[in-house]
Chain A
């Protein structure tokens, strides 16, 4: 007679060798004589290098000193971090006027405020938030960073940006607490249960218009001193170049990638030529081309400043790389998706915008982040053609009289800075990839 158990037999606890620390060590570190030897050898190497770094960078390092000579007087073997600390403002902000630093900080704070909602799960309408960041933030940031008199266009865009930022922020706060969008919330304030979409929209737009007028009048009294681009520098300049680069590379890359896959031969050939041209040459040659040839391209009397030249070069270069990333993403979309979209009567742009791109972008995220990381790293090359980005600033520490010859520490500091930024981003993109993945894991 067969006995059927209705209750599952509880699992037997795994053997101690699988769970205990000792068991883990035996399995992963000392499984054989060779492995044991390898482990000891590696431990020795780690010990040597960590000890060397610890003694140089922390134990024997000098943190407070007036100049390099004083560092030497205190300890000759350790790092002289005092120089870095003295130059910290320069490394981050370049030669930006010290009393105006709040503008950079405020600008970065606004950018964070604008972008943080993109990471909050309960906030709705993330696409609009993202789009407004790309299209409106540049006006707000540009005004804060560069200052000077503003024309009527700039005034309108600036006001729009601020209104948008306000609306975004309130919308996100409401979203986090109640999970609703701002228009929904506004109409619920009026007390009525059911409000039609049009009324919702009208209330919302009315409030926007009102705040637009208020802020427009208010901003007319603002007067920010002009800070020329030659004073921009440090990590701030690096982020400006890389930020503009990545923001323009994505639309540029999408257009180029679609062009490369287009059925029209002229468009295909032109896109392919552009992509291959910029992908096959080193970025330093593109930067040199920008500084030597762009002045020749411009009509007489029209002078592009070096920063704009560099930014154009970075945008062109990065659009080509992004195009290949996008193309890779498009290739992951099965043909059935295109056919399905055609079947329900969608045209080319609708197919791409509503069906293909949303799916492809998800696949592209790790590569887009990878692109951004390499763009950020490549931005250091602008120091070769004479801009004072973060590396340019770090290298000028050794030419500063009190810190003459302080070469190693700034470079190590720069490496750590970039490592922290890039490593965090790449880890985050891997996390995002895992989170967004809808594939069936086998």
Chain B
């Protein structure tokens, strides 16, 4: 009762709010915002008018029409066919994007695997091993990436032997050959009935997923654990394998063969590609390692004790208790690390790998001009990728937050 009385009273006593134009927060807010818009607008107008004048004075053309004009050059490494003097600048743009994404994608996979490995070594009980892992992390994180890329290129991959003395990475089988022209490897040529093997593989994967679901359900209901690993592995190997043999092994391999002064056949990755891949993987693995370590350490020590006390053993403690709790701490920084892998692949320009920046912002810009359009398109691509990645990250974060109660 007394409470309600009080509130009534205070509502009466409360003075009538006076509207003070100069000190009102809303008025000020609108004023500041208008001021900001005016300043930014004026600055933008100033820059744009200057640019327009400059373009006119220099007789430079604008517009995106040049994308349909044939480019007078070609990229020596490309995933889609192209020809100098025939392929347009638009096609060069796509080649650049594909080259950037290709090398970044592989680098992301390798750096994540290597990073997890180093991160686990960092946490090793063995003092020496964890120190060596620490040295790896510190060395690669504290030197500029550009120096590393150039070092790998000039100090390692340029010193590779000539074609005749190629290094055989497959130990005498002549499958993976490394020389100063690049990395040579066999390339599969699927035969007529090869799609059946592919179909069998898909069926096997679906079967494994169903099996896992069923095993999980059974464990939830009865508490009995059904070992799924061996049956799944058997499914995945035997079903496609049997189909492959029954259809008469319809897969040929195009092998690299030494003919004259160079290898013919198979697939080739140029030295600049291999260099960039190695450099990116090693550099970003050092960051991933620290994230993995920090993530695993972020799990409370009590969780280990509790997991042990309910009878779980080493591997299961990690896979069922620690890793699921560490993942929310590991994944967000790791995804931004992936983004910086894509961004850092632009240093390809220093070693001549034709990525987007090198093809579009350097070669095309020198050949065609159109500075604003070229710079804008290149930046727009990176922004698009970045937005896509942060969108995925948001989805992940929301899912993680829902799980956590």
B32 sits at the interface (CB 8 A): yes
Q: Which residues from chain B contact A426 at a C-beta distance below 8 Å?
A: 142
In the complex the two chains form, is A380's CB within 8 Å of B155's CB? no
- Beyond A408-B151, A412-B151, is A266–B33 a contact (Cβ under 8 Å)? yes
Among candidates B128, B138, B146, B387, residue contacting A423 with C-beta atoms closer than 8 Å: B138
Enumerate A254-307 residues with CB–CB distance to B below 8 Å: 263-267, 270, 276-277, 279-285, 288-289, 292-293, 295-300
In the complex the two chains form, is A31's CB within 8 Å of B47's CB? no
B298 sits at the interface (CB 8 A): no
A219 sits at the interface (CB 8 A): no
B294 sits at the interface (CB 8 A): no
In the complex the two chains form, is B51's CB within 8 Å of A297's CB? yes
Enumerate B357-394 residues with CB–CB distance to A below 8 Å: 357, 361-362, 365, 371-372, 375, 378-379, 382-383, 385-387
A42 sits at the interface (CB 8 A): yes
Q: List 12 A-B contacts (CB under 8 A).
A: A39-B129, A45-B132, A264-B32, A280-B382, A288-B357, A288-B365, A293-B371, A293-B372, A296-B51, A377-B143, A380-B144, A418-B147
In the complex the two chains form, is A267's CB within 8 Å of B129's CB? no
The minimal Cβ–Cβ distance linking A32 to chain B, given in whole angstroms, is 9
B54 sits at the interface (CB 8 A): yes
Distance between Cα atoms of A43 and B129 in the complex (Å):
9
Distance between Cα atoms of A298 and B54 in the complex (Å):
8
Name the residue in B126, B339, B378, B386 with the highest tally of chain A Cβ atoms < 10 Å from its Cβ. Answer: B126
- The 5 A-B pairs with the shortest beta carbon distances in the complex, nearest first, are A280-B386, A28-B127, A422-B142, A377-B144, A282-B343
Cβ-closest chain B residue relative to A383: B146
Cβ-closest chain A residue relative to B132: A42
A149 sits at the interface (CB 8 A): no
- Beyond A296-B54, A300-B53, A407-B155, is A35–B126 a contact (Cβ under 8 Å)? yes
The minimal Cβ–Cβ distance linking B216 to chain A, given in whole angstroms, is 32
Name the residue in B55, B128, B147, B378 with the highest tally of chain A Cβ atoms < 10 Å from its Cβ. Answer: B147
In the complex the two chains form, is B144's CB within 8 Å of A391's CB? yes
Distance between Cα atoms of A140 and B138 in the complex (Å):
36
The minimal Cβ–Cβ distance linking B10 to chain A, given in whole angstroms, is 18
B225 sits at the interface (CB 8 A): no
B37 sits at the interface (CB 8 A): yes
- Beyond A284-B347, A285-B361, A411-B155, is A42–B379 a contact (Cβ under 8 Å)? no
- Beyond A280-B387, A296-B50, A296-B371, is A395–B129 a contact (Cβ under 8 Å)? no
In the complex the two chains form, is A285's CB within 8 Å of B36's CB? no
Name the residue in A39, A288, A295, A298 with the highest tally of chain B Cβ atoms < 10 Å from its Cβ. Answer: A288
Enumerate A225-281 residues with CB–CB distance to B below 8 Å: 263-267, 270, 276-277, 279-281
Cβ-closest chain B residue relative to A395: B150
Enumerate A391-442 residues with CB–CB distance to B below 8 Å: 391, 395, 407-408, 411-412, 414-415, 418-419, 422-423, 426
Cβ-closest chain B residue relative to A423: B142
Distance between Cα atoms of A419 and B143 in the complex (Å):
5
Name the residue in A29, A45, A380 with the highest tally of chain B Cβ atoms < 10 Å from its Cβ. Answer: A380
Distance between Cα atoms of A4 and B93 in the complex (Å):
86
In the complex the two chains form, is B346's CB within 8 Å of A35's CB? no
B234 sits at the interface (CB 8 A): no
A84 sits at the interface (CB 8 A): no
Distance between Cα atoms of A405 and B150 in the complex (Å):
14
A85 sits at the interface (CB 8 A): no
B11 sits at the interface (CB 8 A): no
B344 sits at the interface (CB 8 A): yes
Cβ-closest chain B residue relative to A274: B40
Distance between Cα atoms of A407 and B151 in the complex (Å):
8
Cβ-closest chain A residue relative to B139: A419
In the complex the two chains form, is B154's CB within 8 Å of A285's CB? no
Q: Which residues from chain A contact B55 at a C-beta distance below 8 Å?
A: 296
B145 sits at the interface (CB 8 A): yes
In the complex the two chains form, is B372's CB within 8 Å of A296's CB? yes
B57 sits at the interface (CB 8 A): yes
- Beyond A35-B125, A299-B50, is A264–B33 a contact (Cβ under 8 Å)? yes
In the complex the two chains form, is A284's CB within 8 Å of B129's CB? no
> Apart from A42-B132, A408-B154, what 18 extra A-B contacts exist at CB < 8 Å?
A39-B126, A42-B128, A43-B128, A266-B33, A276-B386, A279-B386, A280-B339, A280-B386, A281-B343, A284-B347, A289-B379, A292-B365, A295-B54, A297-B50, A300-B50, A411-B150, A411-B155, A423-B138
Cβ-closest chain A residue relative to B58: A296
Enumerate B252-287 residues with CB–CB distance to A below 8 Å: none
**B binding-site residues for A, Cβ under 8 Å:** 29, 32-33, 36-37, 40, 47, 50-51, 53-55, 57, 124-129, 132, 138-139, 141-148, 150-151, 154-155, 339, 343-344, 346-347, 349-350, 357, 361-362, 365, 371-372, 375, 378-379, 382-383, 385-387
Distance between Cα atoms of A279 and B385 in the complex (Å):
12
A373 sits at the interface (CB 8 A): yes
In the complex the two chains form, is B151's CB within 8 Å of A415's CB? yes
Distance between Cα atoms of A414 and B145 in the complex (Å):
12
Distance between Cα atoms of A414 and B375 in the complex (Å):
31
In the complex the two chains form, is A288's CB within 8 Å of B51's CB? no
Distance between Cα atoms of A419 and B50 in the complex (Å):
43
In the complex the two chains form, is B29's CB within 8 Å of A263's CB? yes
Distance between Cα atoms of A299 and B362 in the complex (Å):
25
Q: Which residues from chain A contact B383 at a C-beta distance below 8 Å?
A: 276-277, 280-281
In the complex the two chains form, is B139's CB within 8 Å of A264's CB? no
In the complex the two chains form, is B155's CB within 8 Å of A408's CB? yes
In the complex the two chains form, is A285's CB within 8 Å of B357's CB? yes
Cβ-closest chain A residue relative to B159: A408
A384 sits at the interface (CB 8 A): yes
A217 sits at the interface (CB 8 A): no
A339 sits at the interface (CB 8 A): no
The minimal Cβ–Cβ distance linking A233 to chain B, given in whole angstroms, is 16
Q: Which residues from chain A contact B124 at a C-beta distance below 8 Å?
A: 38
The minimal Cβ–Cβ distance linking B188 to chain A, given in whole angstroms, is 34
